[in-house]
């Protein structure tokens, strides 16, 4: 028997287990999934937790409920990958040999990368919402916060779900309006980018929305430290921004396991061929989702599209064929804009988000790059789709792995 090992049972790892347990010849292959955790979190839900829109039980389920029964789920800590000898060294001393390895160990926040970030004010007036604990602590803080300067801040790119901090700003505007205290809150959006987003057309649309919602933007801000005593953030150029409540997205990094294994770049992301998803250094290692260094969004929708491509390429690799399936960087994201509306963007490595209709040209029903209630219902429906369709590796009807240009308005 040959062994395929998947490291990580998050969105990407779970989808790969569900794809491959159908597709591999199970008389020849066993499949193992390794993850030390027992809970699967719907990470997009962290955005809604601080505003009391979702409750913790809406976003947490058990990992084992989503792993097929003919796949071995190993709930243990991994020490390192020994790529030269094709085995996983487990923390307890066991070794797990593999013929094929899929790394799906994701990315997480690293507040310790910025001076003072996880200092005295951490979870008192400095919060993250990229962890369950952070989002929950922030919810408790917001419930009886009296107002002041709310600063929403991105430390450095790349981050998971690059639109999430913008959504946080929009939802905060709406939340304080409903609490009849918007006039007591100044909202500032602070980014290391030159504008609200990385691509010109969506930046223009999103900056217009920020202005409309009276949210000020500070761009090109490269943070050097959080000053806990004076409650300010300071950038290398000397700019100082005061806060009463700082909601920051700390530096994101790949798992420490990647560093221990000597397989990562300076942010612990694994150098990966952006089209085939094969590791650049080891032919029998493939990488998917947030763990890669490919220049696509770090988002569940990207992992979903990658999973289709990677499944094909794993099958090619086993048959010693060329890896002919190529990923185009496709991402598809709903952007909550508050007051029960949302935007939708759809883009890839080469095509920036533009306006148009989705998924059917001229018909929709979803509109690209425009606020609508329908898009908001799409975003909320997505939680059901995530648990019931996406994780199981079932294709989402009418949405292909590689991006379609139909119905879009390119200039």
Partner 1 sequence: MEKIIAQKTVQVNEEGYLTNFAEWNKEIGEEIAKENNIVLSPKHWEVINYVQNEFKNEVPLTIRKIGKSGVVDIKEFYALFPVGPLKTATKIAGIPKPAGCI
Q: Which residues bind partner 1 (CB under 8 A)?
A: 156-158, 162, 192-194, 197-199, 220, 222, 224, 236-237, 266-267, 295-297, 331
Torsion of CA 338, 342, 348, 349, to 10 degrees: -20
Least CB distance to partner 1 at residue 234 (A):
12
For residues 219 and 339, which CB has a smaller minimum distance to partner 1 in the complex? 219
Least CB distance to partner 1 at residue 10 (A):
20
Least CB distance to partner 1 at residue 249 (A):
14
For residues 193 and 389, which CB has a smaller minimum distance to partner 1 in the complex? 193
Least CB distance to partner 1 at residue 198 (A):
5
Q: DSSP letter for 63, please.
A: G
* Three-state secondary-structure class, residue 62: strand
For residues 297 and 332, which CB has a smaller minimum distance to partner 1 in the complex? 297
For residues 31 and 299, which CB has a smaller minimum distance to partner 1 in the complex? 299
A 10 A CB-CB count for 301 gives 22
Torsion of CA 60, 175, 302, 382, to 10 degrees: 60
How many angstroms from the chain centroid is the CA of residue 105? 12
For residues 224 and 228, which CB has a smaller minimum distance to partner 1 in the complex? 224
The three-state DSSP-derived secondary structure of 356-391 is EEEEECCCEEEEECCCEHHHHHHHHHHHHHHHHHHC
A 10 A CB-CB count for 381 gives 11
Least CB distance to partner 1 at residue 311 (A):
24
Strands 148-154, 341-347: pairing kind: unpaired
Instruction: Report helix angle 11-23 to 300-318, nearest 10.
Output: 30
Least CB distance to partner 1 at residue 275 (A):
15
Least CB distance to partner 1 at residue 160 (A):
12
Which whole-number Å values give the CA distances from 334 to 194, 374, 380, in the listed order? 22, 11, 10
For residues 35 and 207, which CB has a smaller minimum distance to partner 1 in the complex? 207
For residues 156 and 244, which CB has a smaller minimum distance to partner 1 in the complex? 156
């Amino acid at each position: 028997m040959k062994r395929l090992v998947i490291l990580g049972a998050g969105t990407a790892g779970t989808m790969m287990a569900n794809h491959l347990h159908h597709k591999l010849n199970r008389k020849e292959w066993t499949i193992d999934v390794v993850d030390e955790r027992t809970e699967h979190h719907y990470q997009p839900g962290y955005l809604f937790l601080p505003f009391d829109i979702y409750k913790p039980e809406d976003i947490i389920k058990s990992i084992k409920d989503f792993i097929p029964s003919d796949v071995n789920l190993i709930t243990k800590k991994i020490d390192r990958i020994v790529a030269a000898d094709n085995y996983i060294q487990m923390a307890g001393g066991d070794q797990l040999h593999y013929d094929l390895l899929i790394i799906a160990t994701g990315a997480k926040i690293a507040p310790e990368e910025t001076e003072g970030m996880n200092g005295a004010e951490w979870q008192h007036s400095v919060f993250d919402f990229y962890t369950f604990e952070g989002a929950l602590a922030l919810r408790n803080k917001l419930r009886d916060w009296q107002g002041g300067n709310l600063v929403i801040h991105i430390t450095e790119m790349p981050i998971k779900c690059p639109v999430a901090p913008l959504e946080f700003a929009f939802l905060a505007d709406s939340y304080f309006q409903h609490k009849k205290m918007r006039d007591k809150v100044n909202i500032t959006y602070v980014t290391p980018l030159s504008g609200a987003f990385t691509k010109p057309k969506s930046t223009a649309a999103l900056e217009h929305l920020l202005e409309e919602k009276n949210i000020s933007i500070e761009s090109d801000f490269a943070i050097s430290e959080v000053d806990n005593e004076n409650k300010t953030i300071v950038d290398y150029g000397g700019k100082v921004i005061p806060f009463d409540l700082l909601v920051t997205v700390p530096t994101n990094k790949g798992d420490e396991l990647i560093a221990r294994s000597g397989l990562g770049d300076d942010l612990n992301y694994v150098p990966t061929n952006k089209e085939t998803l094969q590791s650049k250094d080891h032919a029998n290692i493939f990488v998917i989702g947030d763990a890669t260094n490919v220049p696509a969004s770090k988002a569940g929708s990207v992992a979903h599209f990658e999973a289709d491509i990677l499944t094909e390429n794993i099958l090619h690799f086993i048959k010693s064929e060329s890896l002919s399936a190529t990923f185009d960087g496709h991402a598809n994201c709903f952007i909550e804009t508050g007051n029960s509306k949302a935007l939708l963007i759809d883009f890839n490595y080469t095509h920036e988000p533009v306006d148009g209709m989705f998924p059917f040209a001229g018909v929709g029903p979803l509109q690209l790059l425009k606020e609508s209630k329908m898009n908001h219902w799409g975003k909320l429906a997505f939680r059901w789709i995530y648990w019931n369709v996406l994780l199981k590796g079932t294709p989402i009807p009418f949405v292909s792995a590689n991006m379609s240009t139909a119905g879009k308005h390119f200039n």
